Structure 1
Amino acid sequence: MSKVVLDVSMSLDGFTAGPNVRAEESMGDGGEQLHEWMGGAGPDADVRREVDSAVGATVIGRRTFDLGLRPWGGTPWPGVPSFVVTRRTRDDLLGDNGGTFVFDGLEAAVRRAKEAAGDKDVLVLGADVAGRLLAAGLLDEVYLHLAPVLLGQGTALFGGGRGDLIPAGEPVAGAATHLRYRVRSGATRGAGRARLIDPMWVSTP
């Protein structure tokens, strides 16, 4: 059965993009450092292959779509259908690399993405939409790639959403530290950040 998985790189101080996100710098100032592990070998390459092989569809926040379309040249994974969460719906868009973007509301986008993914994962792209999915009880797992970078400011993960994340597997150490979590069903919602239940972490108030 398809799972909805947030796959995200994050700085040590909790940001998924640097400050001043804009069209010319879609990851903000210094934010591209978060993804440097993707070009690595060894454990990092193994993790990258694992993620790529598991994706069957994506759910993307509208802001992430607007910033990412040009550098992606289409959908983030060639040929993989992507569902953009937005109130401003439009006709489907065929990307240059063969993938199709579909525009819909949150719950409809998740439902359609899971249907399209089959037995593969639905990957979530965008901190804001990740927070909305967490609050709605629609997020199943978090695959966190912790980069040894301090950005100082930027886009915070989950945008203030609250929930309990339970370790699912051992950490993998490479240029980044790769951590997988399962979202506890029925977790408390409201103000505050997601709480990582793991002896490696200190709970975030």
Structure 2
Amino acid sequence: MSKVVMDVSMSLDGFSAGPNVRPEEPMGDGGERLHEWAFSGKGPDGEVDSAVRRELDAMVGATIIGRRTFDLGLAPWGGTPWPGVPSFVVTHRTRGDLLGDNGGTFAFDGLEAAARRAKAAAGDKDVVVLGADVGGQLITAGLLDEVWIHLVPRLMGEGTRLFDGVRAELIPEDKPVAGAATHLRYRVARNEAER
């Protein structure tokens, strides 16, 4: 059965995006630096980062994204975050499906319906969640199974805090592995997430 997994890069001081998020800088000022580990594959342990990225790409059967992430990400992605992969946008402003330029479809729905539909669409793969706010909503609703954090050795000082105000217990799933980022995996303890 597919899992709902939040995959996110985070600075050492807890930010998943830089300040001043806007269409010209969808990750905020300096926020793109949080994702360099996924694309460079350089450095003495660059193969670790490349392997983590390959594993992530192979597991994606569908995505759940927040409306703001959709609004800001559509142009840079050129369609859905992974080409051809269905994406479910959590929003109160529903609309008809939108076909992305890269073959993926965006569907617009409420939180629980988006999670249910994404799991069905993912088949035997997993659902990857993008966006700090929607990730927090999924934890609070008891719909998030795992959190994969890519801890980047950078201090942002300000920006979008990951899981700001959300309470949950996270249980380590694997040993951390380190390349340009330290890759951490946690299972969400259901009894804590549903409080």
TM over 0.5: yes
Partner of 1:12: 12
Partner of 2:50: 45
Partner of 1:115: 120
Amino acid at match of 1:85: V
Amino acid at match of 2:13: D
- Greater than 2 Å deviation, 4+ residue runs: none
Contact kept, 8 Å, 1:161 with 1:189, in 2: the verdict is no
For the aligned residue pairs, the C-alpha RMSD in angstroms reads 0.9
Cα distance in 1 for partners of 2:99, 2:144 equals 26
Identity of aligned residues (%): 75
Amino acid at match of 2:145: D
Partner of 1:169: 174
Cα distance in 2 for partners of 1:94, 1:11 equals 33
TM-score, normalisation: structure 2: 0.96
Cα deviation 1:114-147 (Å, max 9, x = unaligned): 0000111100011000110010000000000000
Cα distance in 2 for partners of 1:159, 1:70 equals 27
Partner SS, residue 89 of structure 2 = strand
Alignment of 1:1-205 (within 5 A): 1-39=1-39, 40=41, 41-187=46-192
Structure 2 unaligned blocks of 5 or more: none
Amino acid at match of 2:124: D
Partner SS, residue 192 of structure 2 = coil
Relative CO higher for 1 or 2, CA cutoff 8 Å, sep ≥ 6?
2
Task: Report how many aligned residue pairs link the two structures.
Answer: 190
Structure 1 unaligned blocks of 5 or more: 191-205
